[in-house]
Amino acid sequence: MKHLIAGNWKMNGDQALAKSLVAGLAVKAGTKPKADIVLCPPAPLLQAVAAAASGSALALGAQDCHADEKGAHTGDVSAWLLKDIGCSFVIVGHSERRADHGESDALVKAKAAAALKAGLTPIICVGETDAERNRGETTRVIARQLTGSIPDLGSALSLVVAYEPVWAIGTGRTATTADIAAVHGQIREVFAAVGGTARSAQVETLRILYGGSVKGSNAASILATHGVNGALVGGASLDLEDFWRIIEACP
Ligand code: PGA
């Protein structure tokens, strides 16, 4: 299983970046890059990114979706429309959306279910805050978010989980590889716990990404950590050379 490197542009970038960065990346990646790569620009840039990525192995992803297929939801975008315009992934439950828009586990679960129904692979984010970590609550928070945000813990494996400690996002701080391995192990256990022995073997194929200040200089050790199947990259995904270093650092 190849690693998955997802670039989350957040509310950054413009048409010029969509052209230049993606064209450069498409040339470097060609058709057989070392990792699976997905770019998640702001929604208005999705089609420009798709055009610049055309003919390469770069996949397209969105940063959020609505849980409904269509309807009176001003400003929202459905998973079905994202699929229609060429997306194959969608991030749901990012901590910035949980914080800025009060997204609950139940809402994240509904969005992830909609993504699966529309034929997209949801990248479902979980992660503890600094305060929760300091109180020793990481394990409890992750378990609560997983059981609350995963549509069907007992069967769905056609999804990606991203472990992003909130205190590591955009701060330059990263979790230790021991902590990352422990949380990724816990995530796999939560999935495995809802089935028998066959389930444990299946859960080995679940992709779990780490996110939070991943960059070219720290990617190799993070990406080689046991249980890590890729990275969700924010800031560094806006810099062609740094993002490429992360892809090249995949084992
Ligand atoms: P960062 O963001 O790499 O800038 O820390 C990661 C994320 O929030 O997905």
Can you list the domains of the chain with their CATH numbers?
4-10+36-42+80-248 (3.20.20.70)
156 — pLDDT class (breaks 50, 70, 90): low
69 is catalytic: no
Q: For residue 184, is pLDDT > 90? A: yes
153 alpha carbon – ligand 1 mean position (Å): 25
- Angle, helices 240-248 vs 216-223, to 10°: value is 20
d(CA 177, CA 79): 34
The pLDDT mean for the chain works out to 95
CB atoms within 10 A of CB 238: 18
User: Which tens digits make up the pLDDT trace of 99-116?
Assistant: 999 999 999 999 999 999
What is the average per-residue pLDDT within 76-105? 98
Strand partners, 66: 78
Which pLDDT band, with edges at 50, 70 and 90, does 201 fall under? confident
Given the residues 66, 94, 96, 103, select the one marked as catalytic.
Answer: 94
216 in contact with ligand 1, CB cutoff 6 A: no
Ligand 1 site, residue 238, Cβ cutoff 6 A: no
Q: What is the mean pLDDT of residues 218-224?
A: 98
For 11-63, the pLDDT digits (tens) are: 999 999 999 999 999 999 988 899 999 999 999 999 999 999 999 999 999 99
Task: DSSP for 89-122, please give it.
Answer: EEEES-HHHHHHS---HHHHHHHHHHHHHHT-EE
Kindly state the percentage of the chain with pLDDT values over 90. Answer: 89
Q: Is 164 a catalytic residue?
A: yes
Buried b (16+ CB within 10 A) or exposed e, 209-235: bbbbbbbbebbeebbebebbbbbbbbb
Distance 197 CA to ligand 1 centre (A): 35
The angle subtended at Cα 75 by Cα 20 and Cα 236, nearest 5°, is: 30
The response to whether residue 95 sits with its C-beta less than 6 Å from ligand 1 reads no
pTM over 0.75: yes
Angle between helices 138-149 and 105-118 (to 10 degrees): 50
Question: Distance (Å, rounded) from C-alpha 118 to C-alpha 236?
Answer: 29
